[in-house]
Amino acid sequence: MTLQEFLDTARAIERDAIAAIQGASSTDALTAVRNAFVGRKSGRITDLMKALPSLPQEARREAGAEVNRVKTLAERALEERERGLAPAGDATEVDLTMPAREQWRGAKHPVTLVIDEIVEIFRQLGFTIALGPEAEHEWYNFGALNVPPDHPAMDMHDTLYLGDGALLRTHTSPVQVRTLQRWAPPVRVLIPGNVYRRDFFDPSHAPMFSQVEGLAIDEGVSFVDLKATLTHFAKRFFGAAKTRFRPSFFPFTEPSAEMDVECRLCGGVGCAACKGTGWMEILGSGMVHPRVLDAAGVDSETYTGWAFGMGPGRIALQRYGIPDIRILYDSDVRFLEQIAR
Ligand code: DAH
């Protein structure tokens, strides 16, 4: 092929390509035109480019520039035509009988919903939020809370130790001490957070779960204050449900009490969730032990106060009638979306 023949062929292809592109009336037709001219393996422009090496050396530069110009021009025209065709093409392809796609909306986890509600009730009583670390020092988790070294809770069996005196906190109570170290009384805080235990994984225990701790310290705070506040909370949260206090023991409180609410799943008759008792234990509480106040640097001669710790997971079981606490931590959206709001 001579240079002149090459240039003539290029111009002829250019004319044909423009005409074919303008004439394409659907995306399918346009695809066929694209293949006929700039198809990757063959096509009139592609083939012409492949013929370049057969030209005499001195002709290749001009010929190459020309075929490149034609190729660029054809590609631009193809793009433009495609844009022109797209809306019409799509409109004819819409199938109005297709079922609508459902939008999946994210939502709060039931335990988070319960924590939010608890926080709101106490916020109205003047409590603020405090947070502390999940990886905690042994001293904050046990020693400062008057837990003796031979206490069963310190057993390797119950606690996840991290080494060098660190552990995953087994309760939110260490944040009581951290809070009192930072702020002088009067203090009223609520402390939500995750805690860890090497518990059996059964219907009412999980190795990681949530707690909400409460702490109220001031001059002249008594057990009456504790009982009145927690009863008020139960009335607000559970409606008219009955509550009861049972004497209990915690190293960090004296005296100590646990609060039960009448089981909402069986109405107090007794079922699997309440182990047949008709009552659901929702929190541990008590007057903060003077040794805990002293460890936190608070004068236990001047100040008294109370604390509680509750399990929003357990409360969520009650609130939503869920029979197994493990469901809460499985993250199965088929379950979660039944409760989400
Ligand atoms: N920390 C206790 C636990 O995890 C719960 C608890 C009981 C917290 C009594 C308190 C309290 O603040 O006063 O089992």
Query: DSSP letters of 220-259?
Result: T--HHHHHHHHHHHHHHHHTT--EEEEEEEETTEEEEEEE
Compute the mean pLDDT over every residue in the chain, rounded to the nearest whole number: 90
Which one has a higher pLDDT value, 254 or 148?
Answer: 254
**CA atoms 242, 248, 252, 255: torsion sign:** positive
**CA atoms 152, 153, 157, 162: torsion sign:** negative
306 lies in the same domain as 247: yes
Give the pLDDT confidence score for residue 201 in this predicted structure.
64
Q: Is residue 100 part of a domain?
A: no
Dump pLDDT digits (tens) for 81-125: 988 887 654 556 778 888 888 777 777 889 999 999 999 999 999
Ligand 1 centroid from CA 306, angstroms: 11
Q: Is residue 101 part of a domain?
A: no
Give the pLDDT confidence score for residue 89 in this predicted structure.
47
Dump pLDDT digits (tens) for 133-154: 999 999 999 999 999 888 877 7
Ligand 1 contact via 305 beta carbon (within 6 Å): no
Split into its structural domains, the chain has a count of 2
Dump pLDDT digits (tens) for 298-315: 999 999 999 999 999 888
Q: How confident is the model at residue 336 (pLDDT cuts 50, 70, 90)?
A: confident
Proportion of the chain above pLDDT 90, given as a percent? 67
Give the pLDDT confidence score for residue 283 in this predicted structure.
95
Ligand 1 centroid from CA 329, angstroms: 22
Q: How confident is the model at residue 341 (pLDDT cuts 50, 70, 90)?
A: low
130 lies in the same domain as 241: yes
228 lies in the same domain as 132: yes
333 lies in the same domain as 215: yes
Backbone angles phi and psi of 130, in degrees to 5: -130, 145
Best residue for ligand 1 mutational test, from 171, 210, 221, 287 (most atoms within 8 Å of Cβ): 171
Q: 332 lies in which domain range?
A: 110-339
Dump pLDDT digits (tens) for 192-228: 999 999 876 666 677 889 999 999 999 999 999 999 9
Which one has a higher pLDDT value, 315 or 254?
Answer: 254
Ligand 1 centroid from CA 271, angstroms: 26
* Strands 166-168 vs 135-137: parallel, antiparallel or unpaired: antiparallel
Ligand 1 contact via 173 beta carbon (within 6 Å): yes
Lowest mean pLDDT, pick from 52-66, 256-270, 279-293: 256-270
DSSP 325: G
Q: How confident is the model at residue 160 (pLDDT cuts 50, 70, 90)?
A: very high
How buried is residue 218: exposed, middle or buried, by Cβ count under 10 Å (0-12/13-18/19+)? Answer: middle
50 lies in the same domain as 170: no
What angle is formed at CA 116 by the lines to CA 214 and CA 144, rounded to 5 degrees?
Answer: 25
Give the pLDDT confidence score for residue 172 in this predicted structure.
97
56 lies in the same domain as 121: no
Give the pLDDT confidence score for residue 48 in this predicted structure.
94
Ligand 1 contact via 177 beta carbon (within 6 Å): no
Dump pLDDT digits (tens) for 162-174: 999 999 999 999 9
Atom 12 of ligand 1, nearest CA residue: 308
Q: Is residue 151 part of a domain?
A: yes
27 lies in the same domain as 118: no
Q: Determine if the pTM surpasses 0.75.
A: no
